[in-house]
């Protein structure tokens, strides 16, 4: 179908208006205006301005009439087809309503029939439910009886096997009982469980006792336990092969009995938890529950346990609170003496049996259980005796060290250190540690040689020149560190670190008090020794800040948010600690550096007082009347400068002897800086100089003063910049001095408008002469101090 023409589109719009005659007056006017505009546009397009084309009007009128007729037919067709569609929809709705009513009627009928059927079947359902309940009860009884019968059958099988010496079959039957016990763990049949467990325990004990008896006999033939170091071969000469076979058989059978033994042990421990404990508050058990010991090792430990309890419990002389090293050393000896037997005899059997355990580690675990009980008992009794408590801690730490190093005891298994982490014991340890450290500090500071270095006669080892009290104090801190380093608990380690920082601050305060007493004579040996002590402690703490151990503690403190260590620190400081930019000793280092700076300043101040007093005759010398250099046969040091030079030399030598190397560097550089200022102010700026006087001053400085510092650096004149540059200005020849003076005056008189004309700045001229420190105005002052000007 052809696309509608423009006229058809217009007629379509008008037809829509006829079918939808709901318009407001404004809409009518808008439509009329739109139609008029369209008509004018249409006539201009079809007719145009050519009057000859009016003959086309007839044809155009016919075409419009045909299009109008087509449109009218379409409108009639549409209007006539609407009522049949509406009636069809209404008919369909009525049919759906009827169908729905029929379905609802059928649903009511079926529901009534179903309800009647359920009422009739209810008696049958009740009877059936009772029957099923009875069947369920009978079935549970049957299962109960079958389980009971199975237990009795297993018990009979074990008895039969034991009568026929079929130990392996008996062990398998006991394992079956253990598996059945594990399966009935969630059952509510408590009497059946009790019967099964009693039966299991009964037969397990019989088998275990029989195997243990045979095992002990074989161990006796192999000379177990090995109390003293073995002096003969572990393999017996007579029937050795038979004994080894029996040993392997018994160890293997005991390993097979391990499952039921562990189950019985767990039942016993679970039942004992409900009973009030008579043990002290500090339990000997480690924080994490360890696996039960291997059954053969348990039997091997029995004679050692008897010996241990015989000697170190009760009223025996060997059971002494003051001698914990007796039982600790004894256990270590047993471990060492038994290692060869365990590795050569027991470990190969365990490997062939597929047991992934170490015989030596298991033996050490068992012996450690004895020691843990003993240490826990003794520690609680020694909380009120500082000396004995410290001795116990020292022995426990030494035992732990030897256990880990000499016997290769795994680090993942607990030793004895966890016993020291109990709240009461740890707090006592910290208190005693602090008390004894304070006592030692008092003793070391009051000792006769407290302020002398023990390495003073050995130059290679005396760079820090640390006095004996400072070195002893840092050794004390290092010993404390070694004691708590092995603790398996970072929070406990941080408590000791906080104690160390407190001790350092206490020692700093004591040094400050002694320093104030010696401040009346800062040039004395004791004052310098105090300064060396402060520098030594600061140096060691700086090294500790980069130590891996203390960095790990730093990270632990940040992650745990330890209040004692991070107390008083802001968010920025904690962030620096977390990023390892700072250290836990920063606060102490700042206080020590401040004390060091104050002491160094006071030392140099007193030194300069003495030098300034000696320099007064030199500053009052007749510089203006000294003859020119060419009139003198040889240049010599000014007589008035000799006392000052001797004083400087003596002080430098004294500083070099009594101060550490780093402090001496600070001392002579600080002295040079102050001396440069004094000479410049009191000697140079306070006098006028003739040509001879300037030459004499330069000779005194460059040939006498500067070489005194030349022993400690390559270019000492760089530390006397004011004096060196002043000598350069004063010793300029007359022509150069006049040109320089004129240049500086012109530069001084220039206005801002003349700035940047292109003349070089005066500083460039001064730099050519080697003057970099003095300003142009200072150079003018120096030039005015010259007396040798033409015409004067």
What pLDDT is attached to residue 143?
A: 87
Q: Does 6 score more than 50 pLDDT? A: no
**What average pLDDT does range 694-711 have in this prediction?**
93
- Residue 81, pLDDT above cutoff 50: yes
Cis peptide before 406 (omega within 30 of 0): no
| pLDDT value at residue 461 | 58
**How is residue 4 annotated by DSSP?**
P
- Report which of residues 21 and 561 the model is more confident about: 561
Judged against a pLDDT cut of 60, whether residue 358 lies above it is answered with yes
User: How many CB atoms sit inside 10 A of residue 227's CB?
Assistant: 15
What H or E segment, with its residue span, contains residue 67? helix 57-163
Q: Which residues of 738-774 are buried (b: 16+ CB within 10 A; e: fewer)?
A: eebbebbeebeeeeeeeeeeeeeebeebbeeeebeeb
Q: Is the pLDDT of residue 590 over 60?
A: yes
Q: What is the pLDDT of residues 550-578, one digit of tens each?
A: 988 888 888 877 665 666 565 666 666 76
**In 10 A of CB 621, how many CB atoms?**
19
Question: Which letter, b or e, does each residue of 482-503 get, where b requires 16 or more Cβ atoms within 10 Å of its Cβ?
Answer: ebbeebebbebbbbbbbbbbeb
pLDDT tens per residue, range 30-69:
545 666 677 767 767 766 666 555 666 777 788 888 888 8
**SS3 per-residue string spanning 630-696:** HHCCCCCCCHHHHHHHHHHHHHHHHHHHHCCHHHHHHHHHHHHHHHHHHHHHHHHCCCCECHHHHHH
b/e for 508-537, b at 16 or more Cβ within 10 A?
bebbeebbeebbeebbeebbbbbbbbbbbb
Q: Worst-scoring range by mean pLDDT, 562-566, 619-623, 738-742?
A: 562-566
pLDDT digits (tens, 9 = 90+) for 651-702: 999 999 999 999 999 999 999 999 999 999 999 999 999 888 999 999 999 9
pLDDT at 286: 47
Q: What proportion of the chain, given as a percentage, has pLDDT over 70?
A: 83
Distance in angstroms (rounded) separating the CA atoms of residues 454 and 467? 7
Residue 10 scores a pLDDT above 60: no
pLDDT digits (tens, 9 = 90+) for 779-788: 999 999 988 7
Q: pLDDT tens for residues 393-437? A: 999 999 999 999 998 899 899 999 999 999 999 999 999 999 999
- What is the average pLDDT across 759-788? 86
| pLDDT beyond 90 at 180 | no
What are the counts of helices (DSSP H) followed by strands (DSSP E) for the chain?
A: 28, 0
Residue 356, SS3 per DSSP? coil
Look up residue 631 and give its two tokens: 């009139």
Q: What is the pLDDT of residues 227-265, one digit of tens each?
A: 888 765 554 555 778 999 999 999 999 998 888 877 777
Give the residue, 603 or 581, on which the prediction is more confident: 603
Q: What is the pLDDT of residue 651?
A: 94
**In whole angstroms, what separates CA 766 from the centre of its chain?**
57
In the predicted model, is pLDDT for residue 2 greater than 50?
no
CA dihedral 516, 521, 522, 526 (to 10 degrees): -80
Highest averaged pLDDT of the listed ranges 20-34, 329-343, 455-469: 329-343
pLDDT value of residue 410: 92
Tokens of 188: 């509510």
CA atoms within 13 A on the CB side of 589: 13
pLDDT number for residue 177: 86
Give mean pLDDT, residues 323-329: 95
The model's confidence at residue 279, banded by pLDDT at 50, 70 and 90, is: very low
Q: How confident is the model at residue 11 (pLDDT cuts 50, 70, 90)?
A: very low
Distance, CA of 311 to CA of 325 (rounded, Å): 13
The pLDDT value given to residue 278: 40
Residue 791 — very low, low, confident or very high, per pLDDT cuts 50/70/90? Answer: low
- 169's tokens: 């079959």
> Per-residue pLDDT averaged across 273-299, rounded?
61
Instruction: Indicate if the pLDDT at residue 288 is higher than 50.
Output: no
The reported pLDDT for the residue numbered 458 is 66
The pLDDT, as a whole number, for residue 61 is: 80
Integer CA distances (angstroms), 129 to 201, 273, 371, 739, in order: 42, 45, 65, 132
Q: Are 341 and 226 in contact (CB under 8 A)?
A: yes
- What pLDDT score does 542 carry? 92
Tell me the percentage of the chain whose pLDDT exceeds 90.
46
Q: What sections of 184-235 are H helices per DSSP?
A: 190-221
pLDDT at 430: 95
Average pLDDT, the chain: 84
| pLDDT recorded at residue 567 | 63
pLDDT tens-digit map of 631-657? 677 889 999 999 999 999 999 999 999
Q: Return the pLDDT at 762.
A: 82
Distances (CA, A) of 595 to 514, 600, 656: 12, 9, 21
Helix (H, G, I), strand (E, B) or coil at 457: coil
């Amino acid at each position: 179908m052809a696309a509608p023409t423009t006229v058809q589109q217009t007629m379509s719009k008008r037809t829509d208006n006829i079918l939808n005659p709901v318009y407001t007056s404004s809409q009518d006017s808008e439509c009329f205006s739109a139609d008029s505009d369209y008509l004018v546009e249409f006539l201009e397009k079809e007719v145009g301005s050519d009057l000859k084309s009016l003959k086309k009007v007839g044809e155009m009128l016919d075409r419009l009439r045909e299009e109008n007729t087509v449109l009218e037919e379409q409108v009639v067709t549409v209007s006539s087809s609407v009522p049949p569609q509406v009636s069809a929809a209404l008919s369909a709705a009525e049919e759906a309503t009827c169908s729905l009513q029929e379905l609802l009627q059928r649903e009511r009928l079926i529901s009534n029939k179903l309800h009647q059927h359920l009422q009739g079947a209810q008696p049958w359902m009740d009877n059936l439910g009772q029957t099923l309940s009875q069947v369920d009860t009978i079935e549970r009884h049957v299962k109960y009886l079958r389980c009971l019968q199975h237990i009795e059958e297993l018990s009979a099988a074990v008895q039969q096997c034991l009568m026929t010496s079929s130990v392996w079959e008996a062990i398998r039957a006991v394992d079956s009982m253990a598996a059945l016990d594990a399966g009935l763990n969630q059952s509510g049949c408590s009497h059946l469980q009790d019967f099964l467990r009693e039966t299991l325990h009964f037969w397990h004990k019989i088998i275990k006792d029989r195997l243990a008896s045979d095992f002990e006999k074989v161990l006796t033939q192999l000379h177990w336990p090995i109390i003293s170091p073995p002096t003969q071969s572990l393999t017996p000469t007579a029937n050795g092969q038979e004994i080894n076979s029996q040993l392997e058989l018994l160890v293997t059978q005991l390993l097979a009995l391990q499952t039921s033994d562990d189950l019985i042990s767990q039942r016993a421990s679970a039942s004992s938890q409900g009973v009030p404990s008579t043990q002290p508050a500090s339990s000997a058990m480690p924080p994490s529950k360890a696996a039960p010991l291997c059954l053969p090792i348990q039997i091997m430990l029995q004679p050692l346990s008897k010996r241990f309890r015989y000697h170190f419990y009760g009223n025996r002389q060997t059971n002494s609170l003051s001698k914990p090293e007796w039982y600790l050393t004894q256990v270590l000896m047993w471990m060492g003496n038994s290692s060869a037997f365990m590795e050569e005899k027991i470990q190969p059997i365990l490997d062939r049996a597929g047991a992934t355990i170490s015989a030596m580690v298991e033996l050490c675990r068992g012996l450690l259980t004895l020691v843990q009980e003993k240490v826990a008992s003794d520690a609680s009794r020694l909380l009120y005796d500082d000396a004995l408590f410290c001795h116990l801690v020292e022995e426990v730490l030494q035992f732990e060290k030897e256990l880990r190093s000499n016997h290769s005891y795994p680090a993942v298994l607990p030793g004895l250190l966890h016993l020291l982490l109990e709240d009461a014991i740890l707090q006592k340890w910290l208190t005693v540690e602090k008390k004894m450290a304070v006592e030692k500090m008092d003793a070391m500071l009051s000792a006769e040689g407290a302020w002398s270095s023990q390495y003073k006669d050995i130059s290679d080892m005396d760079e820090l020149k640390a006095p004996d009290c400072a070195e002893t104090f840092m050794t004390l801190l290092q010993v404390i560190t070694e004691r708590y380093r092995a603790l398996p608990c970072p929070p406990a380690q941080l408590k000791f670190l906080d104690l160390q920082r407190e001790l350092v601050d206490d020692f700093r305060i004591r040094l400050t008090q002694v320093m104030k007493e010696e401040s009346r004579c800062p040039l004395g040996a004791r004052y310098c020794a105090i300064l060396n002590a402060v520098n030594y402690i600061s140096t060691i703490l700086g090294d500790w800040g980069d130590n891996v151990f203390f960095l790990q503690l730093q990270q632990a403190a940040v992650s745990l948010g330890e209040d004692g260590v991070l107390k008083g620190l802001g968010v920025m400081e904690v962030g620096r600690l977390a990023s390892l930019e700072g250290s836990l000793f920063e606060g102490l280092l700042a206080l020590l550096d401040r004390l060091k700076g104050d002491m160094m300043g006071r030392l140099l101040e007193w030194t300069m007082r003495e030098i300034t007093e000696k320099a007064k005759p030199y500053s009052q010398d007749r510089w203006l009347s000294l003859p020119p250099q060419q009139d003198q046969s040889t240049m010599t040091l000014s007589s008035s400068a000799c006392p000052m030079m001797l004083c400087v030399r003596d002080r430098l030598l004294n500083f070099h002897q009594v101060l550490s190397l780093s402090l001496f560097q600070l001392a002579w550089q600080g002295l040079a800086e102050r001396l440069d200022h004094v000479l410049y102010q009191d000697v140079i700026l306070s006098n006028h100089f003739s040509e001879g006087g300037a030459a004499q001053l330069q000779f005194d400085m460059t040939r006498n003063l500067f070489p005194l510092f030349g022993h400690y650096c390559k270019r000492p004149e760089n530390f006397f910049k004011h004096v060196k540059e002043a000598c350069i200005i004063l010793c300029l020849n007359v022509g150069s001095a006049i040109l320089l003076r004129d240049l500086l005056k012109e530069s001084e008189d220039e206005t801002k408008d003349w700035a940047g004309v292109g003349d070089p700045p005066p500083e460039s001229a001064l730099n050519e002469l080697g003057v970099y420190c003095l300003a142009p105005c200072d150079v003018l002052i120096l030039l005015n101090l010259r007396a040798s000007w033409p015409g004067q």
